[in-house]
Copies of this chain bind each other. A is one copy, B any other.
């Protein structure tokens, strides 16, 4: 990377905080219909930013759902890198726990607070600053870039598979570099080499045609909330192991080498416990916390509701209760099979007098892994060590990137996660933030990576 490119990247990074403030101000919550127009505005904002970066052919492509923001630059004959990210964000609830309004970005102590600042708008700002710097100073002739920024990542990318299948020629590429993902910690650079799969299920319990007066019928008829509590309490055993029969059947047992690799990483369980702020850690026995997070499948109840939940009191025996459950999966678990099995288990565990219906929720993702000796991965490690200092760590991800498995299937390309957000930045939670001092190294790293990646894709 030339001194000129570096200087330009620094200049552009200096505008990053202002840019990110604009981007985060747009409440592009894909899960809520009332934010439909905002999602569209975020796509338009991103398209304008890409055009300013010197990217060509920028346009919004219809997907049936929220649009994909597309662009391309570089010689058609060169190896192609697809740059991926998403401009949609998570819902903000519980909104009362935000110290400042989630869509009125606020900077405190060098951190920009706001929904989507870290997932995934800040990392996109880094990528575009770096790419603009490179295009403006030393446009590479050995790599072509195509861009795919989607607007449905936070709802499981429902439109992406059909869209990508239809558009597979346009997006044909040798490698996907994702601006989504995030580094393990702020103190050293890291690259994710695997991510978990996911599936989710909604469970609905019914015990009567409608709520009954608890004075008239309490103690004589089943209560849907009691029944749901029983079903949910039975999903784990007392030790924290998932108690759904067959759940672990297809799980690849971690090898001693994998376990040694994980054990060698600088991770103190007590530090982690304090950092997340819980009284004690929890989960499947027989594995370290990092092994549970990276190598073992998990099951969490994500939401639960039923009966009278407003102010005051209502004396009813509730007739209906509901919950949403999600599973994080590892090789070789098949998300659809796990989902089917979970639904069957839930329905079979209905207490007497309760009708339990379990329904798959759209948006499964397969578990995903990158070969340890993959040349672009080794280059990326070197780039990060130069940009951030320290030794790059190869880590794994408890999270899910449905897109990675999809790109593998549709494009035959691996996805490399190259994001400058950090795991502690409260993704999906109140008071999400992004560290503004990561914008400059982020921009420099993106410029350096794209400048040097061409040769690694020839093999």
A1 CB → nearest B CB, Å? 32
Q: Does A123 contact B (CB under 8 A)?
A: no
**A66-103 contact mask (Cβ, 8 Å, vs B): 1 or 0:** 00000000000000000000000011011001000000
CA distance A198 to B316 in the complex (A): 13
Does the CB pair A310–B31 fall under 8 Å? yes
A206 CB → nearest B CB, Å? 9
CA distance A32 to B308 in the complex (A): 12
A-B contact pairs, 9 of them (CB 8 A): A91-B312, A210-B429, A215-B328, A218-B300, A229-B301, A282-B352, A300-B317, A302-B318, A304-B304
Q: Does A293 contact B (CB under 8 A)?
A: yes
Does the CB pair A303–B306 fall under 8 Å? yes
Q: Does A309 contact B (CB under 8 A)?
A: yes
**A192-225 contact mask (Cβ, 8 Å, vs B): 1 or 0:** 0000101010000001111111111111111101
Q: Which of A263-304 contact B (CB under 8 A)?
A: 272, 276-284, 289, 292-293, 296-304
Q: Does A251 contact B (CB under 8 A)?
A: no
Q: Does A232 contact B (CB under 8 A)?
A: yes
**A425-443 contact mask (Cβ, 8 Å, vs B): 1 or 0:** 0111111000000000000
A362 CB → nearest B CB, Å? 8
CA distance A97 to B94 in the complex (A): 27
A28 CB → nearest B CB, Å? 14
CA distance A30 to B310 in the complex (A): 12
A297 CB → nearest B CB, Å? 8
Q: Does A423 contact B (CB under 8 A)?
A: yes
Does the CB pair A232–B221 fall under 8 Å? no
Does the CB pair A155–B90 fall under 8 Å? no
Q: If A217-B293, A282-B220 touch, does A229 touch B232 (CB 8 Å cutoff)?
A: yes
Of the residues B284, B308, B322, B399, contact of A215 by C-beta under 8 Å? B399
Does the CB pair A301–B156 fall under 8 Å? no
A307 CB → nearest B CB, Å? 4
Does the CB pair B353–A282 fall under 8 Å? yes
CB closest chain-B residue, reference A30: B312
CB closest chain-B residue, reference A90: B314
Contacts of A223 on B, CB cut-off 8 Å? 282, 300-301
Given A94-B211, A215-B400, 20 other A-B contacts at CB below 8 A? Answer: A32-B312, A209-B277, A210-B430, A214-B298, A215-B397, A219-B298, A219-B299, A220-B281, A221-B283, A226-B236, A228-B304, A300-B317, A302-B315, A302-B316, A303-B306, A304-B309, A309-B322, A309-B324, A313-B324, A313-B326
Contacts of A431 on B, CB cut-off 8 Å? 210
Of the residues B234, B313, B326, B426, contact of A210 by C-beta under 8 Å? B426
**A29-52 contact mask (Cβ, 8 Å, vs B): 1 or 0:** 011110000000000000000000
Contacts of A281 on B, CB cut-off 8 Å? 220-221, 353
Q: Does A62 contact B (CB under 8 A)?
A: no
**A227-258 contact mask (Cβ, 8 Å, vs B): 1 or 0:** 01110111110000000000000000000000
Q: Does A374 contact B (CB under 8 A)?
A: no
In the A-B complex, the 10 residue pairs with the smallest Cβ-Cβ separation, listed nearest first, are A215-B399, A219-B298, A31-B312, A303-B307, A229-B232, A233-B233, A303-B308, A225-B301, A209-B277, A305-B309
CA distance A323 to B228 in the complex (A): 13
A2 CB → nearest B CB, Å? 37
Q: Does A340 contact B (CB under 8 A)?
A: no
CB closest chain-B residue, reference A97: B210
Contacts of A363 on B, CB cut-off 8 Å? 313
Does the CB pair A198–B315 fall under 8 Å? yes
A376 CB → nearest B CB, Å? 23
Of the residues B215, B278, B289, contact of A353 by C-beta under 8 Å? B278
